[in-house]
Amino acid sequence: MKKRTVSPARAATPNTHTSTSWIMNPQEKLRPADATHLEVARNAWPEIAAACDLARKFTDMIRRRQGHLLQGWIQKAELSGPEAIGIFADCLRQDLAAVTAAHTLSYSSGAVEGPVNRIKTIKRQLYGRASFILLRARHLLQP
C-alpha cells in the first residue's frame, strides 16, 4: 500500500480587484472580514503595508483636493515606497505643476470630453470607408 501525502489546503487568494478595493476604500467602510484579510496581508508583506499606506494617503489627498501636499507625497513614495509606486511618483513629478493644479483647482474639462468622445467614435466607425466630408456631415447631423 502506497503512502499518500496530503498537501495543506491553500487559502483562497483574493483577486486583484478585491485586494485593490480593500486598499482604496477607507478603513471604516471595510467589512470586518475584509479588514482582517487586509491586516493579514499587511503583516505578512511589509511592501504591501507601505503600498497601502501610500495609496491611501494619495487617495485622501485627491478626494480632499489637497494638491499642495503632492510634493511631499512624491518624495516619500520615491524614498520609502515599493518600486512601482516610485515609478508612478516619478511620472507625477515630470508634470508636477499640471497635476497639482488638477487636484487643487475646481476647473474641469468634463464638458468637452463628451463631444470629443462622440467625434472619435464616429471617426473610428468611418475609418477607411469615407472621406472627411462624410465625417463632417455625420458630425453636423447628429444631435
- Sequence-distant (6+) residues with CB within 8 A of 120 are none
Give me the pLDDT at residue 5, please. Answer: 73
Shared domain check, 21 and 80: yes
Domain interval for residue 120:
110-141
Shared domain check, 136 and 119: yes
pTM assigned to the model: 0.64
- Helices and strands of the chain, counted as H and E runs: 8, 0
Shared domain check, 85 and 126: no
Series of mean pLDDT values for 10-residue runs along the chain (143 residues): 65 78 85 88 86 91 89 91 89 91 84 88 75 74 70
Q: Is residue 38 part of a domain?
A: yes
What residue has cell string 467602510? Answer: 29
Shared domain check, 135 and 75: no
What is the DSSP code (8-state) at residue 69? G
Q: Is residue 7 part of a domain?
A: no
Give me the pLDDT at residue 10, please. Answer: 62
Q: Is residue 60 part of a domain?
A: yes
Give me the pLDDT at residue 2, please. Answer: 63
Which triple of cell numbers denotes residue 3? 503512502
Give me the pLDDT at residue 41, please. Answer: 84
Cβ atoms of 126 and 135 within 8 Å: the answer is yes
Shared domain check, 56 and 33: yes
* Count of the separate structural domains present in the chain: 2
Q: Is residue 8 part of a domain?
A: no
